Amino acid sequence: MSVVRRAAPRTAQPTTWSRAAANNRHPLPWEGGGGEGTALSPRTLLLAHHGTPGAEQAAALALSLAVPGHTRIVHLYVVPDLWDGMQGDDWLNNAWTRDAFGRHVEGQLESDAREQMRGVAERCAAQGIECTQQLRYGKPADCLLAAARECDAELVVIGPPRPKGTLGLRSRMDLDRLARGLAVPFMVATAR
């Protein structure tokens, strides 16, 4: 059973300081017109972050939306399954070498992930935002959909697609799959 939340009709509000006003933007629906920690603030915000410049934009957006003492950021780091096929070269001619190489790759990927997760946790702590972390292996969209369901996210924040020609893994988030599969709103951060 899903719960539909309806916002109260907007009425003229006295001028007050708000995060939206400080950032020179219109308040978002869950910001409640300028009040911090209103009933419409996201209690659980799922952040997909893996250390790229786009993911950094997503983290900045998530932190700007989070309300200390009210919002919990769930940091999802996905190690894409595309690395799985990296064990078939000629020099990996026996099972022991192949398995050792696989363990090395997994260890390196997990080390990189833990470093990124530590950085996001420190930024959340510096702003008084609760942060929990999830490390998953698989297709990014599938992992994000599962994490959103499991953590009861009220909002999902992701980074923009990587521009063509930019160095990095060619692991892209399937935005169409997200739009069809998520039961909650999601935001794609953009450059300012």
Task: Kindly write down the DSSP assignment for every residue of 95-125, as one continuous string.
Answer: HHHHHHHHHHHHHHHHHHHHHHHHHHHHHHH
Domain formed by 58-161+171-188, architecture: 3-Layer(aba) Sandwich (3.40)
Determine the Cα–Cα distance for residues 87 and 148; give it in Å rounded to an integer.
32
User: For residue 133, what pLDDT is reported?
Assistant: 94
User: For residue 128, what pLDDT is reported?
Assistant: 95
Residue type, 144: L
Give the number of C-alpha atoms closer than 13 A to the C-alpha of residue 178, restricted to the C-beta side. Answer: 22
Alpha-carbon separation of residue 62 from 79, 91, 115 (angstroms): 21, 45, 19
User: For residue 57, what pLDDT is reported?
Assistant: 92
User: For residue 123, what pLDDT is reported?
Assistant: 94
Residue 22 has pLDDT above 70, yes or no: no
25 Cβ contact list (under 8 Å, min separation 6): none
User: For residue 91, what pLDDT is reported?
Assistant: 53
Residue ranges per domain, the chain?
58-161+171-188
Render pLDDT for 23-64 as a digit per residue (tens, 0 to 9): 544 455 445 444 455 555 799 999 999 888 888 999 999 999
